[in-house]
Structure 1
Amino acid sequence: MTNAFAFDAKKFDTAQLESVFFAPARAFAALSVDFTEKLVNAQLDATRAYTDTTLAQLHQLVEVKDAEGLRSYLGGQQQVIQDLTERMKGDAEKIVALQQDFVQESQKLTEGSVKQAQQGLQSATETATKAVKETASKAK
């Protein structure tokens, strides 16, 4: 007697496995890599800007030779702080926007994967039902 439910590797549908598991995993991995790249680049740009500002301020400080130069240097610090504050605000907004995009794209991928998995499950159920009916009719 043969087992009607035995696994037959020749009939195994790798396309279904690809569409349900591997394709969504690759899509999410690609999205994650893209997000990470954008995030790292934003952080590198911010670090470069802060470093350039700090070095420029140090160069100006080294050039101070008298009380008037020091007064001028200190007077300019308010503008530097204001510029850095604006830069930090813009950098934070950029990071938040990147995170929001990532979340939205992740949700779209998840919804698409769930829908595709449901369709695949329905198809597999129909195929299994058909096979059981055929096996049952042959057994009679």
Structure 2
Amino acid sequence: MSQTTSPNVNASFERLVAAPYRSYADLVLEYCQKLSAAQNDAIRAGTDLGMAQARTWLEARDIESFQLVVESQQKTSQDVSERFKGDADRIVALSREYAQKGQQLVQKNLKSLTANAS
């Protein structure tokens, strides 16, 4: 008798536990991958900007070139602010997408559980 119930138990386990778990794990990994990519892009952009600014300061040789560097710092500050805002918006959008997909998974799994309970 245990041989005939084993495939049913395995199928039920797959449908009720393993498949939902894999779906959620896939969602988490996708979110982590996208978040990591966004963070790496932000770090790379910040590093490139910082290096460019350092090179600009090193090239200043006289009062006029120092004034130009100071003026470019103001533009750079604005660019950095815009970049931070864009990065923050990107992360918020990723988080919203993750929350929405998570809710959809929960609803799907609840429907499956209630259908199996009836």
Which is helix-richer, 1 or 2?
A: 2
**Residue 120 in 1 paired to residue 116 in 2?**
yes
CA shift for structure 1 position 69: 1.0
**Residue 97 in 1 paired to residue 93 in 2?**
yes
Provide the TM-score with structure 2 as the length reference. 0.94
The runs of at least 4 consecutive aligned structure 1 residues that moved more than 6 Å come to none
**Residue 108 in 1 paired to residue 104 in 2?**
yes
Larger Rg: 1
Provide the TM-score with structure 1 as the length reference. 0.79
Paired position in structure 2 for 1:82: 78
CA shift for structure 1 position 25: 0.3
Q: 1:69 aligns with which of 65, 76, 87?
A: 65
Amino acid at match of 2:2: A
Distance 1:116 1:86 in 2: 45
Distance 1:9 1:35 in 2: 41
Paired position in structure 2 for 1:132: none
Paired position in structure 1 for 2:16: 20
Percent identity at matched positions? Answer: 35
Distance 1:86 1:53 in 2: 13
CA shift for structure 1 position 119: 1.3
Deviations along 1:88-107, whole A, 9 cap, x unmatched? 00000000000000000000
After superposing the two structures, state which structure 1 stretch, 11-20 or 30-39, moved more: 11-20
**Residue 9 in 1 paired to residue 2 in 2?**
yes
Amino acid at match of 1:37: Q
CA shift for structure 1 position 66: 1.2
Deviations along 1:111-135, whole A, 9 cap, x unmatched? 000110111122xxxxxxxxxxxxx
Runs (5+) with no aligned partner, structure 2: none
Runs (5+) with no aligned partner, structure 1: 1-7, 123-140
| Paired residue total | 115
CA RMSD of aligned residues (A): 0.9
